[in-house]
Structure 1
Amino acid sequence: MTAAPAFHWLGADQLLPALPAGLADWLFDTGSLTRRLTALSAGRFAVTPLAEGWQSLRDDECAALGVAPGSEGWVREVYLLGGEQPWVFARSVAARAALEGFAPVLAELGRRPLGELLFSDPAFERGALQATRYPPAWLPAAVRREGLWGRRSCFHRENLAVLVAEVFLPELWQYQGIDPDAL
C-alpha cells in the first residue's frame, strides 16, 4: 500500500481562497457525474475498467467508511471517457464487512458506470462532497501528475457505504475551457 501523502479532503466552505466558479461547479455538483459527462459528450460517454477486486483500503478510505485501518474492501478503478478521451479517473471502495448481499451487484458492473446504480436506486443517500489536490502516487501511471483536483463522497444504503472518489483530468478542463489553476 502506498504511504499516505500530506493532503486533506475539504468541504467547499473550507477551501481558501475560494475556487473559480467553473471548477467549484464540477467539484461540488451533487448531481450524477455520469449523467453530466454523458450530456457533455453528446452521448459519447464510456467507462474503461482499470482494476477491480479485494484489497487493503487506504487509511483515508478506512476513516471515511468508519472501519479499522488496514481493513479489506472491494476496490474499483475506472476511467470515465468523453469522446474516447479519459476525462475522469474514479476509485470506488466499500468495506468487505458492509458488502454482505451487495458484492454480486458491484462485481457485475463491468463497463457500466457505478453512478448509474447509485443514482437510480433511491435507497442510496449521498453524503457531503469533499475536494482535494489528489496525490499523484495514487493515480494510474498514464495520468499521473501533480495538482489534479479530485472530489469524493460517501453513498449510504442501510449498512452499506460506498466511497466514490473522482479525479478530474486535464482533458476535461481543456474541453470545457476551464483553467483549474486560476485561483
Structure 2
Amino acid sequence: MPSRDSDTHLSIPAAHWYRSLAAAGLHNPEVHGPARYWLQVEGSFTRALQRRCRRRFHVDVRYQGFDFPTPEEARRLRQPPRRYAWIREVRLCGDGEPWVLARTVIPLGCLEGPNRVLLNLGSRPLGAYLFSDPHWHRGPLETGVCRLESPAHPRLARRSLFHNGADALLVSEYLLPTLYQSSPNPDL
C-alpha cells in the first residue's frame, strides 16, 4: 500500500493535504472556461478523464484504510463525527500526470454484503464500480472553489453523495490545474 506520508507532486505531506481539502468546504462562484466543463461532467468522471487521455489513464492509490472522516464529511454523511469509515485517497492520472485528487468516505454500513468489494478496489476506479451497479445512484453534484489560501492546493472541486437504499458514501474530487489549463476538453 502506498504511504500516506508524502505526495511528491505536491511537496506537502499527503495526509495533511487530503484532510485539509476535505475540511475546507466549498463556496460556489461562477467558474468559466474548460474548468467549468470538468466541474459539471455528468455520468462517470473516470470515463471523461479516460477520453481525454492520449496514451494512458491510471489510478494511483495514495491511502486506503479505516480512519475518521473530517467533521464536514461526517456532517455531509449525517453520521456522528468520531465514527470510523473506510477512507480512500487516490490520484487520477492521465498521460503520466496527476489530474485529479479524489477522497472517498465510505461509512461502515456501506461495506456489507456485495459492497465489501469496495474494500478491495486496489487501482481500479471507484466510479467503474458505482456506475455499473444499478443499486448505486449519485445525488446532486456540488461544485465550487475550495476555501484554502495556499497556492499549492487545487482550488476547484466537486463532490457528491452516492446512495444505495439508506446507505450513502461521499466522493470528493479536487481538480489540479494540469487537467483544465494545459488544453481544453476536445468536446468544447
Q: TM-score range by the shorter chain?
A: 0.7 to 0.9
**2:76 is aligned with 1:69:** no
Partner SS state of residue 113, structure 2: coil
Name the TM-score, length of structure 2 as normaliser. Answer: 0.78
1:9 equivalent in structure 2: 26
**2:140 is aligned with 1:133:** no
The aligned amino acid for 1:120 is: S
Where does structure 1 lack aligned partners over 5 or more consecutive residues?
138-143, 179-183
For the Cα contact (< 8 Å) 2:26–2:147, is it kept in 1? no
For the Cα contact (< 8 Å) 2:91–2:99, is it kept in 1? yes
1:117 to 123, 129, 133: 129
Partner SS state of residue 176, structure 1: coil
Name the TM-score, length of structure 1 as normaliser. Answer: 0.80
- RMSD (Å), alpha carbons: 2.8
For the Cα contact (< 8 Å) 1:7–1:132, is it kept in 2? no
For the Cα contact (< 8 Å) 2:24–2:148, is it kept in 1? no
2:173 to 146, 161, 166: 166
Percent identity of the aligned residues? 35
Q: CA deviation at 1:170?
A: 1.6
Residue-by-residue CA offset, 1:63-94 (whole Å, 9 max, x unaligned): 11111122210000000000010000000111
The aligned amino acid for 2:75 is: A
For the Cα contact (< 8 Å) 1:5–1:135, is it kept in 2? no
Where does structure 2 lack aligned partners over 5 or more consecutive residues?
1-15
Partner SS state of residue 123, structure 1: coil
For the Cα contact (< 8 Å) 2:74–2:80, is it kept in 1? yes
